């Protein structure tokens, strides 16, 4: 999962892009990048690390121009080398940079085609670079010195015909503007907004609406599945549907875990959806154990807090903050390597003994993926004196890998894969384990926007909406995503293995 942003403004965009990326930091902690445009030249800064660490004052001064795009990276299969930090760049045609959120399921085939038929070289293992070169090649085929909006939309249409999987994209074309588009299934989110100034209208495209509101932009709407939004450098905006059979099927895990609660995605409030998750969880508890003995509901900070609060209210029991979070430790789900995740849990959370001692505690988390984190947290609750420790997941059991841009581990690393709820309960050490039902989860997010035709729920039900994911594909993905393979790849690669960034100084 990654965060993307693009701005066409009447003033320098470097600070606005930086601020937007900090708001989107939850979507990726591995790397960050910004590229701006002025006087027929791109100005680029990207590197591994958090936004605040990648950009120094000297870098910001060099990022001149009124047009720019930015990216925060969350690595999926492959290395976390800074060579794969985005945005990516190609010089032909025109000069194009691109930031991408998602994952192409046919990236390997496309990479071979780009070399054999399009005569283009791919310099990294990133499918985002593949997507950039597909877009660039389709623009180049048109052979126009000055591409019109119709020709840019035609290139996006060709991208949809060649690329499969999930993608939300922002590309900047030298001297012309930025174009944002979304895959025909609308799996990954993207929206755009406007800001009125004395000099004219300014536009922003971003992964989440919260990036717009934080920068003073008014949300216009989500980009529709298959649609492209083209904004010229003078602020003129055009939109066009570029897919033959678009269908809105957004990723439901955005609402469970990734998105900020103050975001609106496809007209659905993430906060309201999570409130409903707590209500339906409470209803399930009351169905299964109407005479429950829960004394207190405690959230696992931070994404489960909203659901836990509503669950406690519905059950009529106390809600307490039983864990204090160290906000300087990254999200363990995103961290590569099982040892690093396990070690970071106790560094990240510290229990307040007063809220556990002698009580039957219901812990609430947004989901259970590997089970490492919740096992450690349950033990921490017992060490703090809890009499019984129950555990509730606001999401159903995660039984299948994700192929659309979320680095869900291989099936063997998913604690719910081929296991019953009772077996999982034993493994994590809970006295009782409650999962959200998939039907209830869908109902929590499904009754606001009637245009949503379905939800991408593959991690829960194993149904891959693009129709091109078979056992052979999953086997290849499994090999790529095993922690041991990832750690070996990281250890064997140099820190940088691509083109040198001239603005990589640390002053």
Close Cβ partners of 204 (under 8 Å, ≥ 6 residues apart): 5, 6, 7, 16, 20, 192, 193, 194, 195, 211, 212, 215, 217
Contact predicate 297/282, CB 8 Å: no
SS3 at position 392:
strand
Residues with Cβ within 8 Å of residue 500, at least 6 apart in sequence: none
Residue 406's SS3 state is coil
CA distance 473 to 459: 15
Judge whether 365 is annotated as a binding position: yes
Residue 303 in marked binding region: yes
**What sign does the dihedral 43-49-52-58 (CA atoms) show?**
negative
CB neighbour list of residue 23: distance below 8 Å, 6 or more residues apart: 208, 210, 211, 214, 260
Is-catalytic flag, 2? yes
The encoded tokens of residue 41 equal 């030249």
Whether the Cβ atoms of residue 97 and residue 135 lie closer than 8 Å to each other: no
Give the pairing of strands 296-299 and 318-319.
parallel
Distances 41 to 44, 129, 143, 174, 232 between C-alpha atoms, Å:
10, 20, 21, 7, 16
Is 407 annotated as contributing to ligand binding?
A: no
Task: Kindly state the tokens that stand for 482.
Answer: 């095993």
Query: Which among 33, 65, 27, 35 has a CA at the least distance from the CA of 49?
Result: 33
Query: Which member of 2, 191, 242, 374 is catalytic?
Result: 2
Upstream peptide bond of 93 is cis (omega within 30 degrees of 0): yes
Helices (H), 144-222: 149-162, 209-214
Which tokens hold the place of 236? 């003129």
Q: Residue 333 is encoded by which pair of tokens? A: 């789900």
Residue 490 pairs with which residues in a beta bridge?
A: none
Do the beta carbons of residue 409 and residue 109 sit within 8 Å? no
Contact between 177 and 170 under an 8 Å Cβ cutoff? The reply is no
Residues identified as active-site: 2
Binding site residues for Mg(2+), as ranges?
A: 303, 365-366
Binding site residues, as ranges?
A: 303, 365-366
């Amino acid at each position: 999962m990654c965060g993307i942003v693009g701005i066409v403004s009447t003033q320098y965009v470097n600070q606005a892009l930086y601020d937007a990326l900090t708001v989107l930091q939850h979507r990726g902690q591995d790397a960050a990048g910004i590229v701006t445009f002025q006087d027929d030249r791109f100005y680029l800064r990207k590197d591994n690390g958090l936004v605040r660490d990648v950009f120094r004052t000297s870098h910001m001064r060099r990022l001149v121009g009124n047009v720019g795009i930015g990216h925060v990276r969350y690595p999926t299969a492959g290395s976390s080398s800074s060579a794969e930090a985005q945005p990516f760049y190609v010089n032909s045609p025109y000069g194009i940079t691109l930031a991408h959120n998602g994952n192409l399921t046919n990236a390997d085939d496309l990479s071979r085609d780009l070399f054999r038929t399009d005569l283009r070289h791919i310099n990294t293992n990133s499918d985002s670079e593949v997507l950039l070169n597909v877009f660039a090649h389709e623009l180049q085929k048109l052979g126009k010195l000055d591409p019109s909006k119709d020709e840019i939309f035609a290139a996006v249409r060709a991208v949809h015909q060649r690329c499969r999987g999930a993608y939300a994209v922002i590309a900047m074309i030298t001297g012309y503007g930025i174009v944002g588009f979304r895959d025909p299934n609308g799996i990954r989110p993207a929206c755009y907004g406007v800001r009125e100034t004395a000099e004219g209208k300014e536009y922003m495209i971003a992964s989440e609406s919260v990036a717009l509101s934080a920068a003073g932009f008014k949300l216009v709407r989500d980009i529709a599945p298959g649609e492209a939004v083209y904004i010229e450098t003078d602020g003129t905006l055009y939109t066009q549907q570029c897919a033959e059979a678009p269908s809105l099927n957004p990723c439901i895990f955005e609402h469970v875990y990734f998105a900020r609660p103050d975001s609106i995605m496809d007209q659905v409030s993430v906060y309201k959806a999570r409130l409903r998750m707590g209500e339906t969880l409470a209803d399930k508890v009351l169905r299964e154990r109407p005479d429950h003995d829960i004394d207190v509901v405690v959230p696992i900070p931070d994404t489960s807090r909203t659901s836990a609060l509503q669950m406690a209210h519905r059950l009529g029991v106390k809600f307490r903050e039983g864990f204090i979070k160290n906000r300087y430790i990254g999200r363990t789900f995103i961290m590569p390597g099982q040892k690093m995740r396990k070690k970071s849990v106790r560094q990240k959370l510290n229990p307040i003994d007063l809220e556990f001692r002698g009580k039957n505690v219901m812990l609430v988390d947004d989901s259970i993926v590997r089970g490492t984190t919740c096992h450690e947290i349950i033990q921490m609750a017992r060490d703090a004196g809890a009499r019984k420790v129950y555990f509730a997941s606001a999401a159903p059991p995660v039984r299948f890998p994700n192929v659309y841009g979320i680095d869900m581990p291989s099936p063997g690393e998913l604690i719910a894969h081929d296991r019953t709820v009772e077996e999982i309960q034993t493994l994590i050490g809970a006295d009782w384990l409650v999962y959200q039902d998939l039907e209830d989860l869908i109902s929590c997010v499904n009754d606001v926007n009637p245009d949503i035709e379905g939800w991408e729920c593959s991690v829960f039900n194993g149904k891959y909406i693009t129709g091109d994911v078979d056992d052979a594909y999953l086997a290849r993905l499994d090999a790529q995503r095993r922690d041991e393979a990832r750690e070996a790849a990281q250890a064997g690669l140099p820190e940088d293995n691509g083109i040198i960034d001239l603005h990589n100084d640390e002053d």
